[in-house]
Chain A
């Protein structure tokens, strides 16, 4: 592999997503009906940071992850990886992107080939990228050590002979084997026991330091996201509703959805139980999202302006920007609480 070193310097964002959109056709639905799985998502990931993405099930987190690797072709939008547009003449190819960005999936069992010893699964990536068989298996041994598994003991095993945590370590090893610069972790620890989850999270942190990795960490578990992320992006119904540094988001959430999400965490204090769930019901259908603000149907502060005008996320200036797509944050919006909250 040629040197995939940092080209644009630390100030240049590693990945810029601009207005990504993916609408799936609805089978058997009304003609032209689409599920707006990802509907105009923009964000940047800086070098060496961990960007957490949170949101309810079905809000488009996983679709977004797959769009970033072009595992699903986006309908529109642009990806810029370290200054190079992806999939365009003057930029880098999708394959070149896939060499630098890897993904770890939620289901540790189905993301390993059941008929392959895990060392072969790990060696597959380097082999595809032109390493010889011998080199690939040496790399596989090395990364197995790095994720804390003994190569002689675990390498020859088949996935069904490993525990969930061990399988997920193998998946992480597989992702690291081709020396990516960024790893997308799509609910990578969600299926693990709490104790194993903590081990894997610590492993991820250690690996990030050792290999100068950048993480995109997708999860529905707020405490996990808080533990591992530098910045957090909150998604609702295919759109970004809030984006900011992790402490800002958790201590001073700006969007009512984020507030509700944070309030829905189980309390650690038995005297301070949640009596009523802050969010009730299912999110509205992404086939026909509400007009204006998508969250207004479940928002206690919704007013007429929320139904009429779609709030904009606003512009982020640097990595410390904390922005939210809510009319209450925009004094010019005409929302009655706009000035009061700010």
Chain B
């Protein structure tokens, strides 16, 4: 009871710590805003839909890319046939980035929102960076 003031101070610190996400969100403004994705499709024939339905791509794209990498690099298996019977080359830069051409308004939006730092770009080059040097696109 002599220590009640100290205990109350400790409790207050505890409550403040637990509520840190609240302070953070209140200070940062709207936390509910969903990242807005932009697909810059360049009217590639037959490419009106992704290689998997969007509902599956959203949670599973990293698995698919990982599998593609292993199959392409290790077994030389280069062709992917999707649920509609279309055939694609298993390639991030040649297939995915054809439609999703802009990394910063497509890939990065969600990855930044979720604080995910994929290591794709440790090896792959972002096309825009090549464009400046007379490369692809």
Does A pair with B?
Answer: no
Interface residues of B (CB under 8 A from A): none
Interface residues of A (CB under 8 A from B): none
